[in-house]
Amino acid sequence: MTQKLKILHAGALKKPMFQFAKLFKNRYQDLQIEIEAHGSRVCARQVKNGKQVDIIALADTHIFEDILMPQYVNKYYIFANDQIVLAYDYFSKNEADINQENWLDILLSPEVVFGRSDEVLDPCGCRTLLVWQLAEKYYQKTGLQNKLKSKCVDNKIYPKSYDAALSVSEGRLDYAFIYLCVANRFGLKYITLPEKINLSNPAYLDYYCQASVEVQGEEPNEVDIITGAPIEFAIAVTKNAENCEIAKAFLELVLSKKGQLILEDCGLIPY
Amino acid sequence: MRIDYKEPNLNYIAANIDKMLVPTLLFFLAKKHSHGYELIQKINEADFCEVEADPATIYRNLRRMEEDGLIISKWETGLTGPARRCYELTSSGHEALNFCVELINNKVEKMQIFLQKHQSSAI
């Protein structure tokens, strides 16, 4: 019987996971690998609702604690770091003029359309709202986050950061707040935001903690408060893995020296 | 005058001593094995490192130090919960820290001579 490895992962990890799968397939040629990507919260909820997978890799360590531990996962490995950037393309409005000083003015100009992912489905959406709050504080612009929120509604909010990036590359959005690794995956241009607001650096944990966002919790009428923290990615073998040994070998590949090089090549900072 | 050392890792340390990043990482790891996240926070709080402790710089240096045999890493795991890659100093790492102290002492001595000469010429 053909052996199967089922991998469920955050959309942001599409490129590295595909490369790991390709490499793994060379090692286990008879192995059938199934890969599926969603927003991290959606991935975790699917496992909670009974979906069988061997490996789960998410863009937020807190989701492991909130949804998956200890019923569905015993332990998880924090393996990489990233940051939020403002991504755009050659055809985005004002692309020739935008820089680290004027990005807010350009986003708020009437002709510009920008997007993000949904905070309920995807940690990147939640983190974008945290970035906006921190930007208001950092630039001392009262009311900034509300102005950004009111300009970025409805069809400018996507299920995952990957979809927002795709919309930029296809011209439906001028700009999107996404992870740097996703911007790299799509070959998009980007503005790097100040470290105090881009959620990349553990040295600014205390500053990040000043921002928080309320999202719908796991139970009806439950509200979770998400506080600002550095962006970290984590991976685990699930408790209901059907192919535990193969799953552990895949995990070892991701955490190996070779894995570090692949992650770095995909724009992540490997641990 | 620039001195060339036989070991490439010592040459790297000597060439970058002014930034103080490698000595700082060796110093903290000599006290206690730590993971990168914790090291970034400690470096930011320390007032003797000239480099801004951004994650990309720190993790790249840790990887280089591991390749040079100054530190080793392993995943710190309990039975449950989060696991992080944890770094620990090797005997070569301890020797490298002593080498850094020697380089810094030499620099301090030279700087003190400069300050003394400047002071005496100003009188």
The per-residue pLDDT for range A190-239, each reduced to its tens digit, is 999 999 999 999 999 999 999 999 988 777 888 889 999 999 999 999 99
Nearest CA in chain B to A83: B55
In this prediction the ipTM stands at 0.85
Best mutation target, B21, B40, B51, to test chain A (most A CBs within 10 A) = B40
Task: Give the containing element (helix H, strand E) for B65.
Answer: helix B55-67
Residues A189 and A212 both lie in one domain: yes
Q: What is the pLDDT of residues B14-30, one digit of tens each?
A: 777 777 899 999 999 99
Question: How many domains, chain A?
Answer: 2
Q: Is residue A223 part of a domain?
A: no
Q: Is residue B12 part of a domain?
A: yes
Residues A141 and A207 both lie in one domain: yes
> Would you say B8 and A167 are in contact if contact means Cβ atoms under 8 Å apart?
no
Q: Is residue B26 part of a domain?
A: yes
Q: What is the mean pLDDT of residues B69-94?
A: 92
Q: Is residue B91 part of a domain?
A: yes
- Residues of B within an 8 Å Cβ radius of A: 35-38, 40-41, 43-44, 53-56, 59, 63, 75, 77-85
Mean pLDDT for all residues in chain B: 88
Chain B CB contacts of A79 under 8 Å are 85
- Residues of A within an 8 Å Cβ radius of B: 61, 64, 69-70, 74-79, 81, 195, 200-203, 205, 230, 234, 255, 260, 269-271
Distances in Å between the alpha carbon of A221 and those of A88, A120, A216? 37, 13, 7
Half-sphere exposure of A52 (CA within 13 A, CB side): 7
Note down the domain range covering A50: 4-81+232-270
Tokens of B34: 């730590």
Residues A55 and A105 both lie in one domain: no
Q: How far is A234 from A212, CA to CA, in rounded Å?
A: 21
Residues A57 and A73 both lie in one domain: yes
Q: What is the mean pLDDT of residues B77-97?
A: 92
Of B38, B41, B84, the CB nearest to A78: B84
Percentages helix, strand, coil for chain B, rounded to the nearest 5?
A: 65, 15, 25
Residues A33 and A143 both lie in one domain: no
Q: Is residue B3 part of a domain?
A: no
Q: Is residue A225 part of a domain?
A: no
In this predicted model, which residue has the larger pLDDT, B1 or A159?
Answer: A159
The closest alpha carbon to A232, from A93, A80, A113, belongs to A80
Note down the domain range covering B117: 8-122
3-state secondary structure of A94: coil
3-state secondary structure of A79: strand
Chain A CB contacts of B41 under 8 Å are 202-203, 205
Of A64, A70, A271, the CB nearest to B85: A271
**Strand duo A114-117 + A175-179: pairing:** parallel
pLDDT at position B2: 62
Residues A103 and A40 both lie in one domain: no
Q: Is residue A222 part of a domain?
A: no
Residues of chain A with pLDDT under 50: none
Residues A161 and A179 both lie in one domain: yes
Q: What is the pLDDT of residues A91-114, one digit of tens each?
A: 999 999 999 999 999 999 999 999
Residues A119 and A183 both lie in one domain: yes
Chain A CB contacts of B78 under 8 Å are 75
Question: How many domains, chain B?
Answer: 1
Q: Is residue B1 part of a domain?
A: no
Q: How far is A125 from A38, CA to CA, in rounded Å?
A: 13
3-state secondary structure of B98: helix
Q: Is residue A227 part of a domain?
A: no
Q: Is residue A180 part of a domain?
A: yes
Q: Is residue B104 part of a domain?
A: yes
Residues A62 and A88 both lie in one domain: no
* CATH number for the domain that contains residue B108: 1.10.10.10
Chain B CB contacts of A260 under 8 Å are 63
Residues A212 and A248 both lie in one domain: no
Best mutation target, B49, B52, B74, B84, to test chain A (most A CBs within 10 A) = B84
Residues A263 and A210 both lie in one domain: no
Q: Is residue A192 part of a domain?
A: yes
A75·B78 Cβ contact <8 A:
yes
Distances in Å between the alpha carbon of A233 and those of A63, A73, A250, A251? 10, 15, 16, 13
Chain A CB contacts of B44 under 8 Å are 203
Q: Mind telling me how many Å the CA of A207 is from chain B's nearest CA?
A: 13
Residues A90 and A168 both lie in one domain: yes
